[in-house]
Amino acid sequence: MARKVRTLTRREFIGVAATAVGGAVLAGCKGEEAVRVSATPTPAGTPSAALTPGAVPGTVLVNGNVITMDAADTIAQAVAIKDGLVLQTGTSEAIRALAGPQTQTIDLRGKTVTPGLIDAHNHLQLWGTLLTDYVPLIPPDVKTLDDLLARLGETIAQAKPEEWVQGYFWDLDPPRREQIDPISPNTPVWLMQQGGHFASVNSAALGIAGITAQTRNPEGGIIERDQQGNPTGVLYNHRAMDLVRAHMPQPTPQQIANSLKTSEMKMAEVGVTTYQDVNARFAAIQGYMEFWRAKGMTLRSQIFYTLEWPGDLDRALQMERISDEYMRFAGYKFLIDGQFPTWYTHEPHPGISWDMPTWNPDQFKQTVKALHDTGLQIAVHCGGDAAVDLTLDAYEAAMKANPRQDPRHRIEHATLASPSAFKRAGELGVVISTQPQFVRAMGDLPGKIGEERAKRVMATRDWLNAGAKLALGSDTPTSPWYSPHVTLAQSVLRYDQHDEPFHPEQALTIQEALRAHTMGSAYACFEENVKGSLEPGKMADLSVWSDNIYSIKPQDIVNTTIEMTIIGGKIVYEQS
């Protein structure tokens, strides 16, 4: 019987936030110690066994629609796997002929196979922690401030004395302390906007942190104040958030390692086989190392250490370079601005701040140069166009001072770009790691930044036309959607909050979107030769889809399911 496909409603599309979790850096304030891990690094993706002529596969998948994602976008019927690597693709007849008596045969029954999805930007170590330790204050249960305060009050009533209550919210103005204090006069409260770049606290939390009217803003951060100059409890950008976060309980490395088991499985269920955590501070790095040492990883990962403060440079330079098929220390990360209220732009916008980067520009460039000289990648969060240009300036200066071949530095999000940035990024070989699904969550952008600038928001077509390499990811958990299904659909549809296409001239085809989510994301971490396509000798990481995403309507992609996820030739998830 043919599977019935329906279009996801706007309520369902937006409402999946209930399955997501908020995102912000939970650890890594000033005073952290550097982490060093003793290990013998091996190149990421090095095959464990050579493929020899006449080799008998351990597994074959036949009778399917196999999107190989090779240079020609070849469509095959079947794929053979041996020793965790792709042995061959071709017709079902040809692949069956390779099988031996011990070969496992999987009949796809017409289903579609793609290379395993590679999420080029997320923060997976936060996911399980937030699910277990944070109160969700998001739709559909929480739609108004009154809803938020009622739910928060229930949690506070059950909290132990002096126990921090932590929550996250989405589509609301940040609560102020005068709104939180009546329900929590003594219990410290931390409420994080799910995007991760601003938070609300109550008077008890401000008191613990010693934040008063006399407390100066840290460079790159903002303590919001009322007309009398008193803190309102809203903190913008991580340096301001760190003033409170330094006094909050942090998850232990073992707790993070345990939570990763849950969040990895959620990713496996939607076809992700590799993820790139492009924002790992000290506690997260420790948790990943704990997870890696225990050989608990199901998915493959690359992690980037985030430098939030100038003092983080010394710690970054001391980090051990761990690398094997399941985890690799990939490089370094900066956040040069925040989300919309603090985008760093060339012209004003109606947020909290538009002309303030989170780092002093000269110090930022010097630090980028020092990290460029290590030989590893650098990734920079950029929301506004001035942030993108400052980052390109820093990359260009570092590359001129030390002309390494193909450093492949990255810009994360590249939400708004100036007209000159597209060509510059292409010429410098910069990877654009972006998330077009955010178009749906940004509200009335033309009303905020003007129609001319709105044309350059999530401009995936312009990036491709300029020769920049494009990678796609979810930004989990700082996005309401962690599924590649949404990322792919929105790359093609670019629907805004009203189900209307937002500058559809920037849309990708489904073939381009899938390539960016596989080969493009592999390229983003120097892994295009070992994964991202189903070609002989590459890792046998596959996703089996219920429908052919090349032939169904883009809006129906979000309704497809992943029937099976295979990593290194082993089934790590199978739909029951």
Spans of the chain, pLDDT less than 70? 1-51
Cis peptide bond upstream of 140, omega within 30:
yes
Question: Given strand 542-545, what is the order of strands in its sheet?
Answer: 75-76, 65-67, 112-115, 542-545, 562-567, 570-574
The contacts of residue 343 (CB under 8 Å, 6+ apart) are 337, 349, 351, 354, 383, 384, 387, 415, 416
3-state DSSP helix/strand/coil % of the chain, to nearest 5: 35, 20, 45
Asked if residues 240 and 192 have their Cβ atoms less than 8 Å apart, the reply is no
pLDDT at residue number 133: 86
Which of 519, 486, 470, 575 has its CA nearest to residue 116?
Answer: 519
DSSP 9: P
pLDDT in tens, 523-561: 999 999 999 999 999 999 999 999 999 999 999 999 999
b (16+ CB within 10 A) / e for 506-539: bbbebebbbbbbbbbbbbbbbbbebbbbbbeebb
CATH class of 10-43+118-124+251-574: alpha beta
pLDDT at residue number 472: 98
φ/ψ region of 355 (left if φ > 0, alpha if ψ in -120 to 50, else beta) reads alpha
Q: How far apart are CA 463 and CA 524, in angstroms?
A: 14
pLDDT in tens, 146-189: 999 999 999 999 998 889 999 999 989 999 999 999 999 999 99
pLDDT at residue number 443: 86
Q: For residue 50, give the 3-state DSSP assignment.
A: coil
Measure the CA dihedral 44/48/51/56, to 10°.
-130
pLDDT at residue number 12: 38
pLDDT at residue number 532: 98
Give the H or E element holding residue 461.
helix 460-465
Domain map (residue ranges) of the chain? 10-43+118-124+251-574, 139-193+198-236
Can you spell out the DSSP letters for 100-146?
-TT-EEEE-TT-EEEEPEEEEEE-HHHHHHHHHHSEEE-TTT--SHH
Q: How far apart are CA 121 and CA 276, in angstroms?
A: 5
Residue 150 tokens, joined: 């009622």
Confidence (pTM):
0.91
CATH number of 139-193+198-236: 3.10.310
Give the H or E element holding residue 567.
strand 562-567
Q: How far apart are CA 160 and CA 181, in angstroms?
A: 17
pLDDT in tens, 251-284: 888 888 888 888 999 999 999 999 999 999 988 8
Place of tokens 């009546």: 182
Asked if residues 459 and 413 have their Cβ atoms less than 8 Å apart, the reply is no
Asked if residues 241 and 190 have their Cβ atoms less than 8 Å apart, the reply is no
Which of 388, 391, 385 has its CA nearest to residue 369?
Answer: 391
Q: How far apart are CA 313 and CA 27, in angstroms?
A: 16
